Structure 1
Amino acid sequence: MTEAGDTRPAEGEARAPRQSGLQRLIRHVPLIAPVLLWAVPCWVLLHGGQHWPPPATPVGTALFALALVGMPFAMARGHGRRQQDRAAIVGDTLLGVGWVLFTWSVLLGVLLRLALTVAGVGESQDRARIVSCAVLGVTAVLLGWGYAEARRVPRVRRLDVVLPRLGPGLDGFRVALITDTHYGPLDRARWSARVCEMVNTLEADLVCHTGDIADGTAERRRAQATPLGTVRATRARVYVTGNHEYYSEAQGWVDLMDELGWQPLRNRHLLLERGGDTLVVAGVDDVTAESSGLAGHRAHLAGALSGTDPDLPVLLLAHQPKFVGQAAAAGIDLQLSGHTHGGQIWPFHHLVRIDQPTVAGLSHHGVRTLLYTSRGTGFWGPPFRVFAPSEITLLVLRSPRH
């Protein structure tokens, strides 16, 4: 029994865990990040000793303040319950502009100032103005180039992948991969049609879409997704859900893909035969599916492989690369994934690596499992791709016994 006024917990009473300084900081990141995103370039461009003639500094500062307030407001209206596409475009664009401005304000604000000091550019006003002009110039070039990169039809990336268990009859089997199309507020119906035309030129045996078809419901983005029905494959067209499907009625997307002639591999598989040899093509729901609360949706690899011959090679579709841990434990031969966008806007890929084992390309895991991570076919949110080009991938499977 504790005395009156004693604030110590009674015996057996759980103590609230004390949070570290880092944990407390992480809790405030959503509030701190937008402020830093706009405050840092505002200081580098306007308040770092430039002494711009009036009214440049007060007007510029007001614009940065407007962006700081307007970006989260627009994104909330665009991606929240209201789902207003125009607001989403404004918010997403501001996010991309802010990220590029912030990145190059930090880099040039430090490195270029140091270089100018070493070079003998002594007056602080001259140094500050040169840095400001450099930041604005680099940002303008990267945003213009990044916008063009995001909106163009992706280049085709071709590579041969040797699978030790692949039978000689399947040597040369062609797998086309598209992923993360992210049809969204910017209408990309024509872009979608051109992507599908490009896929058809590859004459693939199997065409795969590894999720994140769109941002929005199937009903809302149907016009942009409809060209997927024109994709041709000699054997099959298969699809698995991504995490963004679970933000917008995933079952509607599963149903639409089925309607368009794609086979949703929801924890199931199919067998493809050629030249007397067989390939298992399996798929799992995204790892976020179970937390969505949608009945019957979860990533279940054992269910996807149920009834298969363990001696057959397996090609697995899983939206997120981090599923490769389970794939490697099960002895999967090749996993195809997307999700990362290759970082989309440099240097965001460093943050992606915190959550995913790989950002792009072919990697080896466990005893025999290969993982191919696509940089994605479209883009999410900000309509920019900087040093992370989109791709349509053609993987040609090779047998070592051919």
Structure 2
Amino acid sequence: MTDTSEARSADGTAQGARQSGLSRLMRYVPMIAPVLLWAVPCVVLLHAGQHWPLPVTLGGTALFVTGLVVMPLAMVRGHGRRQQDRAAVVGDTLLGASWVLFTWSVLLGVLLRLALTVAVAGVGDGQSRARIVGYVVLGVAAVLLAWGYHEARRVPRVRQVDVQLPRLGPGLDGTRVALITDTHYGPLDRARWSERVCETVNSLEADLVCHTGDIADGTAERRRAQAVPLGTVRATRARVYVTGNHEYYSEAQGWVDLMDELGWEPLRNRHLLVERGGDTLVVAGVDDVTAESSGLAGHRAHLAGALDGADPDLPVLLLAHQPKFVDRAAAGGVDLQLSGHTHGGQIWPFHHLVRIDQPTVAGLSRHGTRTLLYTSRGTGFWGPPFRVFAPSEITLLVLRSPQRPPAQP
């Protein structure tokens, strides 16, 4: 027993040391990441054998150093205590631009240089090939940023998905569920965009309209003008909403109260019943998984509370902001969970980092024997006003029953 206890104690000590080391390393990430985002493109474009004229080298280097200094300062002023929208726009835009430049400097700086060396060996010198790489990186980055800005600011396209739920009664076959999420109203005024999104949702003639959180960045009072169009959304059965993690950065209860004022039903660890054709669907919702750590009284993710009093034989549609809640949903017998949060990665290839924290990034997936999860790429965007290879969406989910009634002649 003593040897075992000592071994466990040693293992615990070792694990604690590893976690402590990881924690120390994570503290340096906010300092290291901006340096890498700006330094790598600077080296690839200016200092990798191009031998540009001295004024070009000095001027270009000065631009990258300026970006490295301005970006974190602007983000602190924009997203810190001061909450200065103009600073946030500058910082967020520089963050998106530096990420795209970094990504394609790494990919093309290595791959294209290697391809040119192999394919055109003996044609041109190293300086010429280095300059070609620089031109291509700048060109690709410029095109992707322009396209990505357009993708972020446009009204999302509607994505229709048929979802068969084995326990869904035939009377509920064809139930139309519209999903919007991660609207992220913020420093860039998108009141008109919000109106057009709501017009698109209304054109779907949905039975149920859901918003799975992250309405905005900022308090309800501050972003009210952008959120007010949500009050015009129509549904034949119900409009339901759950909190996202960003609500807990910005007085979450204020957003719950505003959505209630706009006619939406905040499903804070509770459910309602949707009846159609003699069959019933349980529509439940939970607070975001970060709610409890926010310290806001009465806010936490509580699935048992959300399903309390519901007939266990009825199918359950659950709203939960983060996909990773699906483990609890599957254990609780939920049939379909709707989530957002991931933005589909928003700017490629960021989705690889999202996968570290979430089980899925986008689309329909199965978890356990019964539970399906649909993860939306989001309706808006967070921070950088760009979407690259991760298009926004308004989702129309059409629920299907295996015992659907026969088609009318």
1:243 equivalent in structure 2: 245
Compute the displacement of 1:45 (Å).
Answer: 0.5
Distance, in Å, in 1 between the alignment partners of 2:274 and 2:243 is 21
Compute the displacement of 1:113 (Å).
Answer: 0.3
Given that 1:283 and 1:317 are in contact with CA atoms closer than 8 Å, whether structure 2 keeps it comes out as yes
Distance, in Å, in 2 between the alignment partners of 1:29 and 1:247 is 21
Indicate yes or no: 2:25 matched with 1:25.
Answer: yes
Compute the displacement of 1:393 (Å).
Answer: 0.1
Indicate yes or no: 2:183 matched with 1:188.
Answer: no
2:289 equivalent in structure 1: 287
Aligned residues: 390
Compute the displacement of 1:22 (Å).
Answer: 5.6
SS of residue paired to 1:18: helix
Deviation digits for residues 32-91 of structure 1 (CA, Å, limit 9, x no counterpart) = 111000000000000011111231110110110010011000000000000000000000
Given that 1:331 and 1:367 are in contact with CA atoms closer than 8 Å, whether structure 2 keeps it comes out as no
Which of 136, 139, 151 pairs up with 2:138?
136
Task: Name the stretch that deviates more: 370-379 or 113-122.
Answer: 113-122
Deviation digits for residues 265-285 of structure 1 (CA, Å, limit 9, x no counterpart) = 000000010111000000000
Distance, in Å, in 2 between the alignment partners of 1:396 and 1:19 is 47
Which of 146, 150, 153 pairs up with 2:152?
150
2:384 equivalent in structure 1: 382
2:356 equivalent in structure 1: 354
Compute the displacement of 1:15 (Å).
Answer: 7.3
Compute the displacement of 1:326 (Å).
Answer: 0.2
Indicate yes or no: 2:86 matched with 1:86.
Answer: yes
Distance, in Å, in 2 between the alignment partners of 1:23 and 1:315 is 37
2:178 equivalent in structure 1: 176
SS of residue paired to 1:362: strand
Which of 211, 214, 223 pairs up with 1:212?
214
Indicate yes or no: 2:51 matched with 1:46.
Answer: no
Deviation digits for residues 237-272 of structure 1 (CA, Å, limit 9, x no counterpart) = 000000000000000000000000000000000001
Distance, in Å, in 1 between the alignment partners of 2:222 and 2:71 is 24
Kindly provide the amino acid, as one letter, of the partner of residue 17 in structure 2.
R
Kindly provide the amino acid, as one letter, of the partner of residue 125 in structure 1.
Q
Distance, in Å, in 1 between the alignment partners of 2:94 and 2:272 is 44
1:315 equivalent in structure 2: 317
Distance, in Å, in 2 between the alignment partners of 1:15 and 1:331 is 38
1:9 equivalent in structure 2: none
Given that 1:162 and 1:399 are in contact with CA atoms closer than 8 Å, whether structure 2 keeps it comes out as yes
SS of residue paired to 1:237: strand
Distance, in Å, in 2 between the alignment partners of 1:19 and 1:163 is 44
TM-score (norm 1): 0.95
SS of residue paired to 2:40: helix
Distance, in Å, in 2 between the alignment partners of 1:349 and 1:186 is 24
Q: Which runs of 5+ in 2 are unaligned?
A: 1-11, 405-409
Distance, in Å, in 2 between the alignment partners of 1:23 and 1:164 is 45
SS of residue paired to 2:396: strand
1:363 equivalent in structure 2: 365
Deviation digits for residues 4-53 of structure 1 (CA, Å, limit 9, x no counterpart) = xxxxxxxxxx9795348666433322111110000000000000111112
1:35 equivalent in structure 2: 35
Kindly provide the amino acid, as one letter, of the partner of residue 348 in structure 2.
W
> 1:15 and 1:115, CA in 2 relative to 1: closer, same or farther beyond 3 A?
closer
Distance, in Å, in 1 between the alignment partners of 2:212 and 2:27 is 32
Distance, in Å, in 2 between the alignment partners of 1:339 and 1:319 is 6
1:297 equivalent in structure 2: 299
Distance, in Å, in 2 between the alignment partners of 1:317 and 1:22 is 33
Q: Which runs of 5+ in 1 are unaligned?
A: 1-13
TM-score (norm 2): 0.94
Given that 1:209 and 1:240 are in contact with CA atoms closer than 8 Å, whether structure 2 keeps it comes out as yes
Q: Could you tell me the percent identity over the aligned residues?
A: 86
Indicate yes or no: 2:331 matched with 1:329.
Answer: yes
Kindly provide the amino acid, as one letter, of the partner of residue 220 in structure 1.
R
Given that 1:327 and 1:369 are in contact with CA atoms closer than 8 Å, whether structure 2 keeps it comes out as yes
1:3 equivalent in structure 2: none
Kindly provide the amino acid, as one letter, of the partner of residue 319 in structure 1.
H
Distance, in Å, in 2 between the alignment partners of 1:389 and 1:150 is 8
Q: State how 1:208-287 maps to structure 2 within 5 Å.
A: 208-287=210-289
Which of 159, 164, 187 pairs up with 1:162?
164
SS of residue paired to 1:109: helix
SS of residue paired to 1:55: helix
Deviation digits for residues 150-170 of structure 1 (CA, Å, limit 9, x no counterpart) = 000000000110000000000
Compute the displacement of 1:110 (Å).
Answer: 0.3
Compute the displacement of 1:122 (Å).
Answer: 4.7
Distance, in Å, in 1 between the alignment partners of 2:31 and 2:80 is 18
Distance, in Å, in 2 between the alignment partners of 1:149 and 1:118 is 36
SS of residue paired to 2:17: coil
Structure with the larger helix share = 2
Compute the displacement of 1:171 (Å).
Answer: 0.3
Kindly provide the amino acid, as one letter, of the partner of residue 352 in structure 1.
V
Distance, in Å, in 2 between the alignment partners of 1:97 and 1:330 is 43
Distance, in Å, in 1 between the alignment partners of 2:392 and 2:290 is 24
Kindly provide the amino acid, as one letter, of the partner of residue 51 in structure 2.
H
Given that 1:269 and 1:304 are in contact with CA atoms closer than 8 Å, whether structure 2 keeps it comes out as yes
2:100 equivalent in structure 1: 100
Kindly provide the amino acid, as one letter, of the partner of residue 270 in structure 1.
L
SS of residue paired to 2:142: helix
Kindly provide the amino acid, as one letter, of the partner of residue 74 in structure 1.
A
SS of residue paired to 1:295: coil
SS of residue paired to 1:149: helix
